[in-house]
Amino acid sequence: MKIGYVRVSTEEQITDRQFVQLVDICDKVLAEKKSAKNTDRPVYQRVMNMLKEGDTLVIMSIDRAFRNTMDALGEEKKLRERGIFFQILNLAVDTSNADGRLAFTVVAAVAQHERERNAERVKQGQAVAKAKGQHIGRPPVMSPRQIRIAKEKIDRGEATIEEIAALNGIHPWTVTRSIKRLEKV
């Protein structure tokens, strides 16, 4: 039996692209919307528990199933010890033979390297932006003027934090944090 595992990191992301690639070649395809860094991935665990000797786990790309190289190599070893094979479609890697296992090891290391290099590039870009005085991260949901007006209304008892939040379509904690941030300036 071939079991496909599809994963995206957030609820907003769509699994369709991966699902379409796997559905025709797998007996079952299960999808999950959780970060690979999350150790609590119930669908992934369900897939691992479903796999029996002679089965094949199929994924679109290595980063869809594993957090890092050591995780990938460890999971592949556990699968191999159980007599389960592993396929990565976008790389045509199949661990049912020695060449496929070698390719998998190299691919896992390269994927880990790329994740680390990407993180370095992001940090470097953020440092440059910060040095230029640019805002890093998501844009504020309320302008300084909106925050001042909200604080004045709250202070005068004309509105509650919850009412201000509802008017702006945000969580009350965001209003509280925005006011605290404005007070520090």
pLDDT in tens, 68-124: 777 788 888 899 899 999 888 887 778 888 888 888 888 888 877 888 898 899 999
Same-domain status, 6 and 51: yes
Same-domain status, 161 and 107: no
Q: How many domains does the chain have?
A: 2
Question: Can you give the residue range of the structural domain that contains 174?
Answer: 144-184
Q: Which of the following is catalytic: 9, 61, 96, 178?
A: 9
pLDDT tens sequence across 113-171 = 888 898 899 999 999 998 998 888 888 889 999 999 999 999 999 999 999 999 989 99
Nearest CA among 93, 128, 130 for reference residue 109: 93
Same-domain status, 22 and 102: yes
Residue 133 domain-assigned (yes or no): no
Nearest CA among 16, 18, 10, 57 for reference residue 37: 10
Q: Output the pTM of the full model.
A: 0.58
Q: Is 9 a catalytic residue?
A: yes
Residue 139 domain-assigned (yes or no): no
Among candidate residues 71, 98, 115, the one where a domain is terminated? 115
Same-domain status, 69 and 106: yes
Buried/exposed 67-79: b ≥16 CB within 10 Å, e otherwise? bbbebbbebbeeb
What is the distance of C-alpha 141 from the center of its chain?
23
